[in-house]
Structures are given as structure tokens and as C-alpha cells.
Structure 1
Amino acid sequence: MKTIHPDDFRVVDAIKLSNIPTELKNNADDDEKEEKLDKVQQKLSALQDVMYAHNRYAVLICLQGMDTSGKDSLIREVFKEFNSRGVVVHSFKTPNSNELEHDYLWRHYLALPEKGKFAVFNRTHYENVLVTRVHPEYILSENLPGIETVEDITPEFWQKRMKQINNFEKHIARNGTVVLKFYLHMSKEEQRKRLLKRLENGEDNWKFSVGDLKERDRWDEYMHYYEEAINATSKKKAPWFVIPADDKEMARYIVAKIIWEEMQKLTDIKEPELDPKVKENIELYKEQLKG
């Protein structure tokens, strides 16, 4: 299998999604991909245990992608070896009435991970510059000063909102939260196949929504706004990675490997030293327990 390097997927310059492949060609079979993923799963699980003891860093994993891009299954497979207390998944739906009484980032602040833990945002604060751009009428529900109609939502509004997101991520990164953002880059044809499979497989019928087809009709708009959001917000301390997602198994391995490689940059993460007095008397304590 081709070696996975985070920089091959990291966004450092302006991208155009149509120029980025949605599948990584490397001739690896499913068994090899599963074996590679299993090894990284074990490493990440052990790392989180040490992180918990170290109690200095938290990790925020942000996942974005079109419907059927594989976010749910990726979360299940990449983090399945974690201690259940070490990772929390948040799936952000349409804001409820209480959330709409606060600014749009409020509910995301509440879901940030504690030190020593991972949090996964399945759909993220970026929905506020993605789905709301395709459907700007949603902004009216926020009751913002000066925004009475859709016509009041100017290009400057979106630029300011993306700057606010950058500031949000900069703030939490400076306070010990590692921010890694992944866009699962799936082709429109692959989405068609996955939606059709949901309809043909009775066990998966429940996953299908007519709304999926309506959003699919606006594919080009979503791609345009994804490009703008990613290009405006991929920063050194909160990078975006564009992951080819037509092959779900490979996408899972790539994301897991990138998380592992990025975490290796934090060379100060280590288990705390045993108290010198306890260490000095460890043989005594052992004898007491044996007696």
C-alpha cells in the first residue's frame, strides 16, 4: 500500500475540488486496508489513554461531507478501540429553539472536548457557512440585528462569519485543543450509487430521505461553497484535509493515519511521573499488599 502522508491531503493553498481525485489509486485490497486501520486504531487508543493522564490537550475532529459520504461509518471504525469515556461524538442537526436564542457558535462551544479527550463533530460549525449559504433563508431564524430579509445577507456577511470561525478555532487551539478538519470528498456518481443502494436494500430504506435528492440537485452550489469555506479557513493550527472518499475503507485509514501522524508532533505528551515518595516506598507497599 502507498504510504500515507498528511501533507498529501492538507490544504495549504487555494484548492478547486473538481481538480482533486475522489479515490486514491494504490492497489490495496480490503484485507490490507483493514489490517492497516486496525494497527492505527490500537495506537490511537493507547495515545488517548496517555493523553488522559497527561491532561494538557484535547482533540477536536471535524467531519464534513455531502450526504452518504461515510461520516457515520468512519467514526464507528476509526474510534472503535477507544475507551468509551475517551471520545464523544456530536451530530449537529438543525438548531433547536433554545440554540437559536444564542449565537451560532454557542452550541459548539458547549460540545468542545475536555482535556485528555477526543470529540468528533459529525457535521460541524461549518454548516453555518455551507447549508445556510445554499439556503440563506435559514439565517433569518437567528434573529440577527440588521438582517430582516435574505437580501440583507451580503457577501461581507459570509466573510465576517468565516473570520469568526477562524477566531473561534484559533482561540481553542491556543488553549490546548488540537483541531483537525476533514472533508470527505465524494463524487456525485458515487453518491448516486449509495443513494440507490439505500432504496434497493430494504434494511437501509430508513436511511433514505427525499430531502437527499433535493440537496443533490444543488450539488454544484455545495461544491462552490465548500471550496470557499475550506480555502478561507484552512490554517496552520486548524488545517483542512481533503480525503478521497469514494472508497470508504481507504478513507477511514487515511483519516486515522493523519490523526496519528499529527498527534506525533506533540512530543510533550507523556504519562505523569510517579510521586517520588511513592516510588521510594513501592517495595514496602507491595509487601503490605502481599501480607
Structure 2
Amino acid sequence: MARPAVVVAAAAAVSVGMIAPAQAHSGDHTVRSGDTLGELAASHGTSWRSIHADNRDTIGSDPNVLRIGQVLSIGGFGPTPSAASGSGAYTVRAGDTLSRIAARHGTSWQQLHALNREAIGANPNVLRVGQRLVLSGEAVPAAAPRAASERASRGVDRSAIAPAPAPAPAPAPAHRAAAPSSAYGAWDPHVRPGVQEIAERFGVSTVVTRPGHTPTQGRAADFMVYSDRAKGDAVAQFVIDNAARLGVESVIWRQRIAGPWTGWAWRAMEDRGSATANHMDHPHVAFR
């Protein structure tokens, strides 16, 4: 019997459908007595890590220490916006990735990169705080190459030269992002496109999230490759190579972990006692 296309959630002790997500909203917040990053994150529909990353210069390295009167910039994720909400411009903040910005504005990271290629450059994983990104419009086509005749040497009988063949069409991108499938509803809205992209790119038919996952059940995914080590190696390397674009916090594979604090180099982990607990049959990807 064939496996289902995607299995998105492992059995949980409670029905996650009974828990309504916090209403997401964004803006500035002035710290008051008793505030914590965890409470602010819950009330704004985001995570404390995101608030800390966006306000690290204000808060400092310790997310547990807030000072009354500090002004924090807080963004949140709500339901996927309509296409109309993607108009205008956006200023890049600390912790932003193209995939997260795209999810907020109802578009794809590929479209954002095409619209802002001159500002971002060739590498979509590299954004700079303060960059101004266009959210809608038409991508500027690349300049046409000069005709071969302009490079011909003077004095050559051009009538004897066969015309240059037409340039080959540009190869199709390896992956064309699709709208996130409803099958990926177990993950937070900004995480779904990344989970779907990885699963479809490598043909991973079973992807699960489990209660107690780190950082949360909605922002972690296990890509079950079972005994196919080559596929697991490919998934893990792709995630590392595209960590900034996909908004990845860490990846665990074959009893090793990699993240920004390791320079995305593998670091050995303790033995947890079983193949699955040691991530021998699946790369575990944690998203921000």
C-alpha cells in the first residue's frame, strides 16, 4: 500500500483544532512593569525569539531583561493576506527573510527576489537591515546580449559568416514555489512554504510534527527519509545552504546539529538511545 502524499501531524494528546491562534498584529510597544517577551509574543501572534531578534540593539543579549520605557518594534503573522495587501514597499528589519516577508504579504520569495534583484543582488539569502523592497509590480528583464556582429573585426567579409545561432532559452528554475497546500496546516503560516518546498523538492512523502517539538510544534518538521541516507544528506545540506531564505533556526541529522552558533558546521550530539531519537531516519528542521 502506497504511503500518503504528506503526513503532516503525529498523534497528539489534545486536539490542536481546539486552540484558536492569537490574533496577530504589529507596531511599536512601550515596555511596562511586568512585561515579558513571552507575554508580548503571545499577544502579538509571534515568537519571543522574533521580538528579541528585531530589537536586539535595544534589549541586549539577554532576552529576560526588559526595562520600563523601552520601545520595541513587534511584528506578527496573521492569516495569509490577499493579493492586494502585497502592494507598496517594505523596509527590511533584523531577522527578516524573503520567505517570511512573502508569507506576510501573500506572495512568493521568488517574486520578491525578481522584483528587487538590483537591491538584493544574486543571492536571495542575503538581506540588509534598512533595505527598501518593492512588494508588487513587474520584474525588470535582463538586458539583451550584444549582437555578434558588433564584436566582429573590421575588414571581415560578413556575408561569408554564418549567422550566430539563437541563444538557448534559460533553464527553468529547479523549484517553482506553489501556494502552500492546505495539507501543511499543522505548521505556522510563515513556515508552511518552506516545509512544502523541501518536501516537494526531494520527494519526501512523509513529514511530521510532534508534540513537544522545539522550538514549537508549529515551527519544526521531521522529513522522514527512513533508510535513504543519501536523500537525508541532500535535505540537510539544502536546508543549511538556504537557511537564511527559509528562516531556519537549526537542523539535526544523524546525531549532529548545525545552526548559526556552529557556523552551520555539524556538531556531535549526545546519544539519545534510539535511531529516531538520534535523528538517524529523518532530518529535523527548526524554523524561526
Is TM more than 0.5 here? Answer: no
Point out the structure with max Rg over C-alpha.
2
Scaled to the shorter chain, the TM-score interval is under 0.3
Question: When the two structures are superposed, what TM-score results if normalisation uses the length of structure 1?
Answer: 0.26
Q: Between the two structures, name the one with larger relative contact order (CA 8 Å, sep ≥ 6).
A: 1
